[in-house]
Structure 1
């Protein structure tokens, strides 16, 4: 019975002929499903999936691929922005692996599955009933209850959607605790009747939420009158004919206990070999208590080595291998099996053991051809004493790799009638791999930060539209943080305070200066649009086809929004975009990185800034990412920044290396969504908080943030062809950073007697910020620089700061802050200056 299913016959024929049960619907329905009879007084038939990896051994690539593709469909339905905040919930036991695969396809959403195994010390965050199941109670035991508390879409995944009762019970329970606006129900097959469909629609209206349904195939089950009684009669007849188990498939066999192996060893006991997977320490074994994208990244990195260890333990002549998961433990064995499939020549199949009692009939037209029965070995809460493995006996497997969690690695497992012994009666080689059962710890502690909040969005925080950017910051709008510029400068240079501990008073541009901004924008909009297009095309081609844009607040934020707009304009992509804080000398916000790793694949994250000066932030980010990875064990973040302009030759990903006027540098918050520079002060930002910032709502009348974005976006169409050519040419060049700007800054620091590169601010953007935020000493302007410096000259005149023309300068201009700051002198606008 090597081909336990199919044999050219639909595996539902036997039940259909005897009970009159039929499937009606999509053409591919019978390819996905067979039929069997339940040992269950509540429902006669069982829909047996060929692609779920539960009752029917199947290629692990096929099993994983079905779930992953469903996840992709959910992402398309939600759009990138909404998908970024979604949470996936799978149902125990059959859909735990399917739900996890959907989460992967969705874009690495955090994942949780229900469980029937209580865990001491973990609070119940919810629960519901599955009325048709033999074991009805589902528990929700997330390590962090905040996982279910967000307002993003909740994606509910089951293997089949038969009546909708389980989903209704779930939503009813969770909506009362954690109300949200949207739910998506996902299944391999949707077999609801028209009445069931209408009932879900009415329910959604009653709770004021949208509920969508996505399935691989749909149809209905035709059930004749009296089918339950007829089914029970058939079960009784066939069960009594061959005893508690089909002949040869569950009979008593000599079992052997498997002694525990020393660390790192494969140890054999008779025909049973224990394989040490070297499972990563602290990595959850599945989604019972939550599984984040950061967990997935760790698993992905470890899978090749784990599969290699299994392959090493397999007999060299094995032609057909089964990886057998354990009840709710489906995803980890599935991923190991899928990896193993890539590295061995043997045919690899995957399935799992189950609590569900089903009649086995050795007939090609029946979906469950054989049944192995063995005692429960994980201290089951429901008191049931039997567990089952279907379609394994008679499957022609040369080796079976049984994968269990450590809670189930008990004496009952290794008893004479335990699972390994039952398997050994039907295959020459049994391997046992044990995955450590994850034990949750409380999140809310200094060592383990609490659940971080969702990003702030406009209009509640910033004047940008909510889909344009999510701010991974905390709102400090009600805190007085501003200090006079001269006081800040003295405190900063004396070492008494860090620049990020206070804010400068927001510069209010004069009418003349505002006119200069709008004039500069008119002149440079097309030039900026081309640079936006070039850097975005470079990112999509070289970094990730679906990048997660993470702007360095706040100068990078308008650029990130424009890159997001270009991706939509040119490719129809709806890219996630966030803004995070990075502070010179203090590094990037580690909590923001944790949030990003929990919601996205770090390998897709692209950090974005407006421009490079001398490259200090580039160096800061590189060091901060290295320290974060070492401390957290979370890898994959690429510290190279993508910038609009790279005059300092500090990065490889840029739109241009020309130092020209980017009008967003002309202003502060009024061109950056009315958001302040970020703040990091110990009495305001705790170890579990995002860095802070203020939202200057009172400046709405002077806000040009959206006007700036719209002016540049309006030029996308006219520069599209130029961008294509420029990006292609740029990507063919050697773009290795030369750090020419850094060398120039060091030279200028020495020539002007400053001896502190932090007080040399090169480039149009940095010079502008010196004039707006700091107390400048003088401005160095490249000889012959034209309109790009009009706003710099105007600001310098208003502040009484001399502008000195310099012949040899890699930048258009450089702003200098003198280290020997003296209070008392004032410029034309009444502000203090250096003397």
Structure 2
């Protein structure tokens, strides 16, 4: 062994070579120096393209190893590259590592070069990030590699390119890479780096011929060289061996004590620091990571208790950050008797045989939890479970994932954390924020893949959470919200399934009010076109604003021949608007053209929320691409609404409080899309807020019927709209906030100490009855058919309807305040808590 590596660890202090089991049964032989068996073991792939797997003892992928050994191997190779190139060329070099196995090794080689930026290929497409090149790994179980640098010029220079893989078997992957990159950015020098070089003589000739053809010099550096001799029938014999020895993955341990629950540890990861080299990692990033590693290790150590044998487990391509955390943690616990090891999970399907002469002793299988582009699949953690040797057991495991992998699948029964819990006494979870390149944002979702609306009607700036269980029983949800244990946007109500009687009421209400709605749609659209520009970008507040935005878009097309862009974004009371969606809008449209659209106003809470959120929006501070100050954001906080009974806005179709049938139902009148969701474990800082698409409710979908019925009245109301617009242009439309004042008065009168439990207006009252725990309904005395559906829902839920005078709205819904301490009813008696 050389380059400062120490192979005398507890994993390598044995007489039996971990390749003997395969060599004896498959007829595979290694040739090379004496150091080769120390570096490599053998296992059998579950892969029809190649029977055997060379298992590195120093890579930190399949075999847990001490972090200084893993990092030291790469750093030593990097120093050899620097000596080969000389300081001047080394300073111009770029290091490229291969996913998934060599991402950490390549990064460590870049550390050895000291000043080289680093990029690794990836098998994870990142929405909104174009790839600069790609290549194939022909023998792999997952062949396609993408290059997604944030700096598009990273690979465009003419300095040396250093290509790093864990081992060279044939060299075909390197040839594919060099040809693909040289076609775009020719250069005169390449350096190929690996832990072991196992190519045949023919493979070596093929690489030399490629270099001559391209007119470039290609050097190769490895820790050791050798060869692999395979029998002619190796694939057939390998399949037979796998079939004979394959067993179902072992179940979690059946100890009497319950397995530990994962404890989430906040690393204090520095804001803006990339999690690895997927989009590039610079020397400045490296220096910043080094600065913060000791503090992050201290945070982890504070949760380890008396653990003495500790594993830091990375996740597929996420190797470098966990490796460096493991090294820092090892330094932190030095002198305590504790030891730290490092390895990562993998996509590679490999046979496990619990034999000292076999490199893969145990296997934990679990579902992928980062929503890979190739769909759900199985992933593996090798040699983490102790198998038949209790000395191999880790009494603490630190699972490190990036935020893209912190999904429900990670935490579900049978998921990675569940599988680990059966084999350790203490389980920690550390989540590193997945870096999103600046300006790289996913595009909008569109029907029919998401929502039942036609794709041109609306683009949803949301992420699809359709596969996540988010619904909670209404009573439980209300209690959690009112007790402060949860925010209303962290879960969804169970979708209301309307009775036949209620559906008939909806259709009767739609038929009766379609003309009135069409008139309001025309009035608000014409006001927007006259006052906010001839080609506005409509941005509806999902979900209630979306049908209105679609109708406004249809009006503009019907009367003006305009094709207006329309998007739907999420805004959450108390948490603001989706800033990732704002960034996307700012990148694709002039913010001054954006007009926010909602269905109606109640007391004006969302109106105030939007104004406050836009005042705070700074995009990316210091970036020339995005707004850098509140004054420069460019977004106009004024909302355009169909109805403004609360007197909160200046742009509206009417200020009457009347029934808008789209408020009568939930998703089945809103494109089968749920209300929006904002929960930390599902929505990262650079993600869109989420929502669900209820495809299974297609048979009850009335979304198109609502839109078509209203749009069919456009021609009939055109003259009335023109008259309304003239009157509004001359009217004083200054917001009165009468609705807010009314809500405060009602809150005081009914002893409700949280005004968010008072929902004014027909639309808000309907929402209360559909998805909250209603207490009572206040109805304006003499209110007519606009409240038929409200009265029916109230009867079905056993909620009293109280007729009152001097109500500025047609009705007001009161949410049950029984979970609010000190709440009293209208009779002055305390409400049960």
TM-score, L = length of structure 2: 0.50
1:98 maps onto 2:100 in alignment: no
1:329 maps onto 2:321 in alignment: no
User: 1:215 — aligned with what?
Assistant: 222
1:403 to 396, 400, 405: 400
User: 1:389 — aligned with what?
Assistant: 381
2:138 to 131, 136, 139: 131
1:23 is paired with a residue of what secondary structure? strand
CA contact (8 A) 1:9 1:365 kept: yes
Q: Distance in 2 between matches of 1:4 and 1:188?
A: 18
Deviations 1:39-93 (A, max 9, x none): 0000000000000000000000000000000000000000000000000000000
Where do residues 79-158 of structure 1 align in structure 2 (5 Å cutoff)?
Answer: 79-158=86-165
Deviations 1:112-142 (A, max 9, x none): 0000000011111000000111000000000
1:201 is paired with a residue of what secondary structure? helix
1:278 maps onto 2:268 in alignment: yes
Structure 1 residues 270, 87: closer, same or farther in 2, change over 3 A?
Answer: same
1:54 is paired with a residue of what secondary structure? coil
User: 2:189 — aligned with what?
Assistant: 182
Superposition deviation, residue 186 in structure 1? 0.1
User: 2:297 — aligned with what?
Assistant: 307
Superposition deviation, residue 343 in structure 1? 1.0
CA contact (8 A) 2:253 2:422 kept: no
Q: Distance in 2 between matches of 1:358 and 1:251?
A: 21
Structure 1 residues 294, 226: closer, same or farther in 2, change over 3 A?
Answer: same
User: Which one has more relative contact order, counting CA pairs under 8 Å at least 6 apart?
Assistant: 1
1:412 is paired with a residue of what secondary structure? helix
TM-score, L = length of structure 1: 0.50
User: 1:773 — aligned with what?
Assistant: none
1:341 maps onto 2:349 in alignment: no
Q: Distance in 2 between matches of 1:136 and 1:210?
A: 27
Deviations 1:458-497 (A, max 9, x none): xxxxxxxxxxxxxxxxxxxxxxxxxxxxxxxxxxxxxxxx
CA contact (8 A) 2:134 2:145 kept: yes
Deviations 1:644-694 (A, max 9, x none): xxxxxxxxxxxxxxxxxxxxxxxxxxxxxxxxxxxxxxxxxxxxxxxxxxx
Q: Distance in 2 between matches of 1:355 and 1:319?
A: 29
Q: Distance in 2 between matches of 1:118 and 1:295?
A: 23
CA contact (8 A) 1:311 1:340 kept: yes
Q: Which runs of 5+ in 1 are unaligned?
A: 257-268, 444-629, 633-835
Q: Distance in 1 between matches of 2:352 and 2:10?
A: 15
Superposition deviation, residue 145 in structure 1? 1.5
CA contact (8 A) 1:253 1:421 kept: no
User: 1:294 — aligned with what?
Assistant: 284
CA contact (8 A) 2:254 2:422 kept: no
Superposition deviation, residue 8 in structure 1? 2.4
Where do residues 773-812 of structure 1 align in structure 2 (5 Å cutoff)?
Answer: none
1:9 maps onto 2:16 in alignment: yes
Q: Distance in 1 between matches of 2:146 and 2:400?
A: 23
Structure 1 residues 254, 101: closer, same or farther in 2, change over 3 A?
Answer: farther
1:278 is paired with a residue of what secondary structure? coil
Q: Distance in 1 between matches of 2:288 and 2:257?
A: 36
Structure 1 residues 426, 3: closer, same or farther in 2, change over 3 A?
Answer: farther
Q: Distance in 1 between matches of 2:377 and 2:256?
A: 19
Where do residues 42-61 of structure 1 align in structure 2 (5 Å cutoff)?
Answer: 42-61=49-68
Where do residues 323-722 of structure 1 align in structure 2 (5 Å cutoff)?
Answer: 323-344=312-333, 345=336, 346-394=338-386, 395-442=392-439
Superposition deviation, residue 252 in structure 1? 10
CA contact (8 A) 2:170 2:199 kept: yes
CA contact (8 A) 2:275 2:435 kept: yes
Superposition deviation, residue 350 in structure 1? 0.1
CA contact (8 A) 2:406 2:431 kept: yes
Structure 1 residues 143, 253: closer, same or farther in 2, change over 3 A?
Answer: farther
User: 1:451 — aligned with what?
Assistant: none
Q: Distance in 1 between matches of 2:257 and 2:149?
A: 37
Deviations 1:588-641 (A, max 9, x none): xxxxxxxxxxxxxxxxxxxxxxxxxxxxxxxxxxxxxxxxxx999xxxxxxxxx
Superposition deviation, residue 383 in structure 1? 2.1
User: 1:318 — aligned with what?
Assistant: 307
Q: Distance in 1 between matches of 2:136 and 2:111?
A: 26
CA contact (8 A) 2:400 2:430 kept: yes
User: 1:165 — aligned with what?
Assistant: 172
2:153 is paired with a residue of what secondary structure? helix
CA contact (8 A) 1:253 1:416 kept: no
1:151 is paired with a residue of what secondary structure? coil
Structure 1 residues 140, 251: closer, same or farther in 2, change over 3 A?
Answer: farther
Q: Distance in 2 between matches of 1:97 and 1:91?
A: 9
CA contact (8 A) 2:395 2:424 kept: yes
Deviations 1:273-328 (A, max 9, x none): 1110000000000000000001111101110100110111111x211000000000
Q: Distance in 1 between matches of 2:261 and 2:363?
A: 21
Q: Distance in 2 between matches of 1:38 and 1:398?
A: 29
Deviations 1:421-457 (A, max 9, x none): 11110001100000000010149xxxxxxxxxxxxxx
Q: Distance in 2 between matches of 1:255 and 1:3?
A: 28
Structure 1 residues 3, 359: closer, same or farther in 2, change over 3 A?
Answer: farther
Q: Which runs of 5+ in 2 are unaligned?
A: 1-8, 387-391, 441-620, 624-833
CA contact (8 A) 1:254 1:416 kept: no
Structure 1 residues 421, 295: closer, same or farther in 2, change over 3 A?
Answer: same
Q: Distance in 1 between matches of 2:143 and 2:281?
A: 24
1:40 is paired with a residue of what secondary structure? coil
Structure 1 residues 83, 255: closer, same or farther in 2, change over 3 A?
Answer: farther
Q: Distance in 1 between matches of 2:59 and 2:129?
A: 29
Deviations 1:207-251 (A, max 9, x none): 000000000000001111201110011001111xx2x32x45x68
CA contact (8 A) 1:252 1:417 kept: no
1:325 is paired with a residue of what secondary structure? strand
Q: Distance in 2 between matches of 1:86 and 1:6?
A: 38
CA contact (8 A) 1:255 1:414 kept: no
Aligned residues: 428
Where do residues 15-54 of structure 1 align in structure 2 (5 Å cutoff)?
Answer: 15-54=22-61
Q: Distance in 1 between matches of 2:121 and 2:310?
A: 30
Structure 1 residues 383, 6: closer, same or farther in 2, change over 3 A?
Answer: farther
CA contact (8 A) 1:376 1:412 kept: yes
CA contact (8 A) 1:4 1:369 kept: no
Structure 1 residues 195, 419: closer, same or farther in 2, change over 3 A?
Answer: same
Q: Distance in 2 between matches of 1:253 and 1:318?
A: 18
Q: Distance in 1 between matches of 2:243 and 2:94?
A: 43
